[in-house]
A and B are shown apart, each in its own frame.
Chain A
Amino acid sequence: MVACRALRSCTGNSFQPSRCLNRKNIRPFTTNYLRHQSQRTQTPTADRETHFGYETVTESEKQQRVAGVFSSVAESYDKMNDFMSLGVHRLWKDHFVSSLNPGATTPLGQPQRILDVAGGTGDIAFRMLQHSNVHNANPNIHITISDINPDMLAVGKQRSLSLPASYQSSISFLEANAELLPFQINDNSLDLYTVSFGIRNFSNIPAALKEAHRVLKPGGVFACLEFSKVDKYPMLNAIYKRWSFSAIPLIGQLVAADRDSYQYLVESIERFPSQEAFRDMIVDAGFAVSGDGFEDLTGGIAAIHKGIKPL
């Protein structure tokens, strides 16, 4: 019971955005920023209810709270992914990128335009650049890294400085809400839209999928890598659930002194729809899928969903 109460208190009242304000590297909750944000990123359904972990909040509130979480974990983001996935996320990301095979064109070296949403730290974008340049000998691709959170983008920008100069010119950064992409990303302008470990934090997933459908060229591919459900293997599921619900928040507290953010991450994974349900959302947004429309990684701890915009 004690544990139960403790858990509830973490997810309940005690999660106040104000707590994040105490951190010195945090900008997002100054009033100026909020006003500025609400003009540009407010979606039409901002008042609707959605989930924040196990809580029910409005969509705009979720946006702010998620911003808080990611601002506070931006710098320890890699560490966090390592804990969540037991270190396997690097393999998943490699597999994700090589299955997309960016830069493979006939004839060689044709241009490709890619948008990596919620890709703040550049994990996926840098891998795609590497794959295209080295594996497919195609330097002619351009990747826009977009993220709603400037702190995550800052981490990515910092990291991109260590890339070769030719790679750096192929990347641009964009602070944007995926549910309402800015006008500089035109309709039917992209070959590939990727979102990796980001979409479960979106307040309005169907709206984000519609936006993806809008900006992709006909024949363009939507690809999503995300934590998913292990329901097919009850044993693995039990172990995984035990790990994520009891160990991860504790590690978050010990390593990053931030239990709430890690608790949110665990709960948001639990809240995210199953493989089939998410596939159906992708189809509802107008994409066509192949086969089941998803591929399980490590028994379903994560899954890759892909959709193609029909001609």
Chain B
Amino acid sequence: MPVLCRVALRTRIPRATSLVRKTFFSYEHPPSSQPFGTVEDVILSAAYQHVPEHGFSHHSISLGARDTGYLDISPSVLSNGVFSLIRFHLVRQRLNLAYNTEELFDTSEINSAGTSAGSRVAAIAWARLIANKDIIHRWQEALAIMAQPSHVPSSLKELALLSDEILHLAGDKSVDSSWYSKRASLSTTYSASELFMTNDKSAGFADTHAFLMRRLDEATTIEGVFEGLGTWTNFTMNAGINLLRSKGVNI
């Protein structure tokens, strides 16, 4: 038993971590970590150029390493192999959204609520989808890799970060339960549209655009119904309580 006691003392119980990691965003403090290390970033940037031709593959990565003067063995340092390259694409395009969005909207217009939140979400989601156009013929193989059990958590996390980014850029200010429902429904809509796009042969991906708009409308309708239901319930309950109070019931 003393052995166990000693072991128990040594065993550090880690703090429970939240399911979706959303941590404090500082506007002033420099960030503590970059999405990719310096070397990783250099190799993956070069490898990314080979994706349209060679896909999300080891081959693209080793070509990237050679282009930048690294050794054949160097890519083995990437912790997730090919998935690193996929994540690079996801992170790059997510960060690019902020710039594309600037071109899409004028800042003052956003603040004056000239366009509805829904249409801004649609425009930004479409901007993100169309950023896939150069690699869309390679995207199904990437989706297959992302669906591998060991990569599912990171893939979902990236999807959550993307929805969060889109909603934030669209100026969404919800800080109650709808924070979750909006992100969940946007994530579903976005990934369905992305999958649709891999088989879309129409000019300028017009079919995908139509698909995205349709799904976003549906989601808005459903959200509207739930919201309306909530408001109605609240109203009815308050009315009921007030009626009882007016009758002298002590509540």
Contact = CB atoms under 8 A, between A and B. Distances in A.
Verify whether A and B have any Cβ pair under 8 Å.
yes
Interface of A: 1, 3-4, 7, 99-102, 104-106, 110, 112, 191-192, 217, 219-221, 223, 231-232, 234, 237-238, 241-242, 245-246, 270, 288-295, 306-308, 310-311
User: Which of A110, A219, A306 neighbours the largest number of chain B CB atoms within 10 Å of its CB?
Assistant: A219
A219 B38 CA distance: 12
A245 B70 contact: no
Interface string B79-92: 11100100000000
Interface string B223-240: 000000000000000000
Main secondary structure of the interface of A (DSSP, over half): mixed
A270 B3 CA distance: 13
A236 to B, nearest CB: 11
B77 A110 contact: no
Sort A-B residue pairs by CB-CB distance and give the 3 closest, nearest first: A4-B2, A291-B79, A219-B71
Interface in B79-112: 79-81, 84
A306 B79 contact: yes
Contacts of B77: 221, 288-290, 306-308
A221 B76 contact: yes
A223 B73 CA distance: 11
A182 B14 CA distance: 42
Q: Name the residue among B38, B77, B79, B81 with the largest chain A CB count within 10 angstroms.
A: B77
Contacts of B14: 231-232, 234
B39 A220 contact: no
A124 B59 CA distance: 25
Interface of B: 1-4, 6-8, 10-14, 36-40, 58, 62-63, 65-66, 68-74, 76-81, 84
Given A232-B14, A290-B78, A246 B3 contact: yes
A104 B11 contact: no
Contacts of B72: 104-106, 110, 112, 191
Contacts of B3: 3-4, 7, 245-246
Given A311-B69, A311-B70, A100 B37 contact: no
A288 B38 contact: yes
Contacts of A288: 37-40, 77
Contacts of B40: 288, 290-291
A233 to B, nearest CB: 9
A232 B69 CA distance: 38
A53 to B, nearest CB: 13
A237 B79 contact: no
Nearest to A283: B37
B79 A292 contact: yes
B223 to A, nearest CB: 36
B73 A191 contact: yes
Most buried by A among B7, B58, B66: B7
B74 A99 contact: no
A1 B6 CA distance: 12
A238 B71 contact: no
A168 to B, nearest CB: 23
Most chain A beta-carbon contacts within 10 A, residue among B1, B10, B39, B71: B71
A291 B84 contact: yes
A2 to B, nearest CB: 9
Contacts of B76: 99-101, 192, 221, 223, 306
A171 to B, nearest CB: 18
11 contacts: A99-B81, A101-B58, A191-B73, A192-B76, A220-B74, A221-B77, A238-B7, A238-B8, A242-B7, A290-B39, A311-B70
Residue among A192, A289, A291, A295 with the highest chain B CB neighbour number at 10 A: A291
Contacts of B36: 290
Nearest to B39: A288
A289 B37 contact: yes
Given A101-B58, A219-B74, A234-B13, 5 more contacts: A7-B3, A237-B11, A238-B11, A291-B79, A306-B76
Contacts of A294: 79
Contacts of B6: 245
Contacts of A112: 72-73
Nearest to A237: B11
